[in-house]
Amino acid sequence: MPSEEVESIERTMDEDQEAWEEMNFTPEERKKLRPWHAFQKKDHRPWQEIEAEAKRKNRENPHDPSLPILFWDDLPEDADESHPDVAAVRALMVDDPEVDAENYKEDGNAALQDAKRKGKFYFRVPIEKYTKAIMCQHPDPKANSVYYSNRAQVHLLLENYAKALKDAREAMSLDEKNIKAAYRAARAALALDRLDEAEATVSYAKTLDPDSADLEKLQRRVDARRKQLQAVEERARIDAAATRRPLMALVSALQSRGLQVGPYQHRSLGQGRVIRLSEDGKLLFPMLVLYPETQQSDLLEDVPEDALLSDQLDILYNSEAPPLPWDTSREYTRDRVDLYYQVEGCAPPLASDALVEAFATGFANATFTARETRGHTMVRADPNLSLLELLLREGHVVPGVAVFYAVARGTSFAARFLEGEWREPMQ
């Protein structure tokens, strides 16, 4: 019904009982009716003021005879059925879920066509209409199936595929022969890459309409997407194999030398550096030097496996270089520093496959857990040995990178360290 006609009835319904009784209002039209407009011309106050006073009086006395009947919350049993206001209230009190639901559905259909012209922002209107139709709880499951299926279509247009699939499934559960719901469920499942579900739903829909060209086209889309995803998976597998090939060579080189490598113990201090293999097949180690007395650290990158430890000490404590910023007492000098490393309590070594994965991910998923030990677990590193010779010491497991602890001889901390009183802080 046009809004102009509704407004006309509002103006005249208190004077024209016959016109009021003959009208068949939809739920939306009923909501637009404000019966107190009819009394405004008698009072001359704004209708909002009249309404507020009426509501106040109604709270005090639901059947206040001084109030127009249209302001009452309900009608008394002895209401005068010949009064036009009583007829109006009776019309507004009619509750027909079948009619209401169908009206909302039709409103939703009209709103959907309007939204297609105007743009996605307006799709919320048909969703609201179909939702109201569902909330009316139509007694016929097939009718409710249509409402859910229609709402699923709007969700598809909005690319809300999860919601579309949920609504389409519900529609199918209410009416197993609702082919539109099956088609929409398959489309939503395809968009979500749930290809098995999409294919099964298309197959089911074909039993309802074997000659459907739309279903055949949708089946081809499902098949094409499956091939596409298989190609992507195969490409990823090939790329992963190509990425791991040099890592497998690295692990093989470590094992051929008898080295054991465990999880990364000081990943943040090591700045994510990892052991690598040079082009000529030589192992290159990040070498992390920790200062347990002061909680400082140094990092040497790509130290060759055959490099002497004494050469690395020369680099770290060059006599011509300025002193370490935190070494105000000048205790950490070339002639006083000894390096130690752990030979007991190391974390268990990683197996070949786990080690390849660890190098591929920068040891992100390998958790360091030290073993429980008794007594001192550190030994002094002989500066005249190569890095590889040191790391091959029995009981040592390389914690991701080569790790050494620098201690200045002749200090009180050195005495405590050598007595085994110092322990590695928890990682």
Beta strands 402-408 and 283-291 are parallel
Q: How far is CA 93 from CA 20, 31, 32, 75, in A?
A: 14, 11, 14, 10
| Residue whose tokens read 């097939």 | 142
103-136 pLDDT, tens digit each: 999 999 999 999 999 988 999 999 999 999 999 8
What pLDDT band is residue 225 in, cutting at 50, 70 and 90?
very high
Q: Which of 24-38, 242-256, 379-393 has the lowest mean pLDDT?
A: 24-38
SS3 content of the chain, % helix, strand, coil (to 5): 50, 10, 40
Contacts of 165 (CB under 8 A, 6+ apart): 152, 185, 188, 189, 192, 194
**3-class DSSP state for residue 337?**
strand
Q: Which of 69-83, 244-258, 339-353 has the lowest mean pLDDT?
A: 69-83
272-304 pLDDT, tens digit each: 788 999 999 999 999 999 999 998 999 999 999
Structure tokens at 378: 């550190």
Q: How many residues does the chain have?
A: 427
Q: How far is CA 75 from CA 79, 90, 93, 137, 243, in A?
A: 6, 9, 10, 26, 81
Residue 306 CA, chain-centre distance (Å), reads 49
CA angle in degrees (0–180, nearest 5) for 371-372-375: 125
Q: Distance between CA 374 and CA 68 in Å, rounded?
A: 95
Query: What's the whole-number mean pLDDT along residues 133-161?
Result: 95
pTM: 0.51
**3-class DSSP state for residue 255?**
helix
pLDDT at position 69: 54
Determine contact, residues 404/288, Cβ cutoff 8 Å. yes
Q: Which residue type, as a one-letter code, is found at position 27?
A: P
